[in-house]
Structure 1
Amino acid sequence: MNADPLELQKFSELAHHWWDPTSEFKPLHEINPLRLEWINARAPLAGKNVIDIGCGGGILSESMARKGAKVTGIDLSEKALKVADLHSLESGVPVRYKLIAAEEMAAAEAGQFDVVTCMEMLEHVPDPGAIVRAAATLVKPGGHVFFSTLNRNAKAYLFAVIGAEYLLRMLPKGTHDYEKFITPAELSQYARTAGLQVDALKGMGYNPLTKVYSLNNDTSVNYLVACTRPE
């Protein structure tokens, strides 16, 4: 199974905090509108069949469903999916959640999705290339695939690990394993090897003074990648 049991346990233990915007997941709540609008601008979500790989508690999944997409969220944390399901019932925003690996889902529903998203997940799995291949298999020809992850360099270590986890305490200690961070060149290579075309890279920055996140062209720490599967 392409999952790290310790990573699953870590996110499962925090599952009940997913929808608390003041909790450990505060950064996810704050970056979600930026990610959502970037995705929607490149692949308008209304009426689209969308799958969110590594959906966790469903923050992005549910926001895409609010845009009019038919959304499936998949994850391997049973607790996070229960939280996601419960929130979907409470909010009245329908999302189909499944406890299934991306690779299994790709075998079951190949080429069924207009849009595939995989956010903040690749840096938590043993074989990120296999997840990228699964995403490429799930998307229809002409469809869009979006990833976001963390770059691997001294600045990313300083900002994402030392800064976010230890100094600013924005994230629980041990959230990230620097060794698993992925450079844009590596992620682009995974995508091309999987038959995807890389269309755009975007950086995401955080200003600790204003406490505001923004999209920019600096991919040195957090970054997003937009791909398409050629027709």
Structure 2
Amino acid sequence: TVEELAATSPEPFDVITCLEVLEHVPFPDSVIATCKHLLKADGHLFLSTLNRNPKSYIFAILGAEYILKLLPRGTHDYSKLITPAELAAFCRNSRLNIEDFTGMSYNPITKIYKLGRNIDVNYLAHVRHFT
């Protein structure tokens, strides 16, 4: 776990990625706090998760898990999905600042992911220490 790594890691990291994890753990704020502990003062933290709203439920849970079967059924629990505002609050509470949000979208016909401004379903956050 990230907590075990924090207990044994001798040096902080320049870059940490925590992708598609936060919506699966009981305390995502604790994971973010631990990532901050592992991050150099000028380091970069990249987080990705699913937004919690009806569109996300339709596309990420019903669409990906039940209709297209891209993921096993039950992979995501809607109540554990994280809004951008909640993620920003978790980061602020750990003295981290959201630099940018970027949306990710998947086209099941072309099987291509694209980055964009729409953060309604899946999104990335670039995070740094407060300056």
TM-score where L is the length of structure 1: 0.54
Q: Counterparts of 1:138-157 in structure 2 under 5 Å?
A: 138-157=38-57
Compute the RMSD of aligned alpha carbons: 1.4
TM-score where L is the length of structure 2: 0.93
Gap change, CA 1:157 and 1:172, over 3 Å in 2:
same
Aligned to 1:176: 76
Return the alpha-carbon distance in structure 2 between the equivalents of residues 203 and 196 of structure 1.
20
C-alpha displacement of 1:172 = 1.1
* Deviation string, structure 1 residues 38-95 (Cα, Å, up to 9, x no partner): xxxxxxxxxxxxxxxxxxxxxxxxxxxxxxxxxxxxxxxxxxxxxxxxxxxxxxxxxx
8 A contact 1:110–1:138 mirrored in 2? no
Runs of 4+ residues deviating >4 angstroms = none
For residue 202 of structure 1, what is the amino acid of its counterpart? Answer: T
C-alpha displacement of 1:106 = 2.0
8 A contact 1:111–1:137 mirrored in 2? no
3-state DSSP class of the match of 1:142? strand
3-state DSSP class of the match of 2:72? coil
8 A contact 1:110–1:139 mirrored in 2? no
Aligned to 1:116: 16
Return the alpha-carbon distance in structure 1 between the equivalents of residues 3 and 123 of structure 2.
24
C-alpha displacement of 1:105 = 2.1
For residue 83 of structure 2, what is the amino acid of its counterpart? Answer: T
Aligned to 1:163: 63
Q: How many residues in Structure 1 have an aligned counterpart in Structure 2? A: 131
Return the alpha-carbon distance in structure 1 between the equivalents of residues 86 and 11 of structure 2.
24
The runs of 5 or more residues in structure 2 that have no matched partner are none
1:225 aligns with 2:121: no
Return the alpha-carbon distance in structure 1 between the equivalents of residues 120 and 62 of structure 2.
15
For residue 116 of structure 2, what is the amino acid of its counterpart? Answer: N
Q: Which has the higher helix share?
A: 1
Q: Counterparts of 1:11-90 in structure 2 under 5 Å?
A: none
The runs of 5 or more residues in structure 1 that have no matched partner are 1-100
Q: Counterparts of 1:178-197 in structure 2 under 5 Å?
A: 178-197=78-97
Return the alpha-carbon distance in structure 2 between the equivalents of residues 138 and 188 of structure 1.
19
Aligned to 1:206: 106
Q: Greater CA deviation, 101-110 or 128-137? A: 101-110
C-alpha displacement of 1:169 = 1.1
The structure with higher relative contact order (CA 8 Å, sep 6+) is: 2
Q: Which has the higher strand share?
A: 2
Return the alpha-carbon distance in structure 2 between the equivalents of residues 161 and 183 of structure 1.
15
Return the alpha-carbon distance in structure 1 between the equivalents of residues 44 and 119 of structure 2.
20
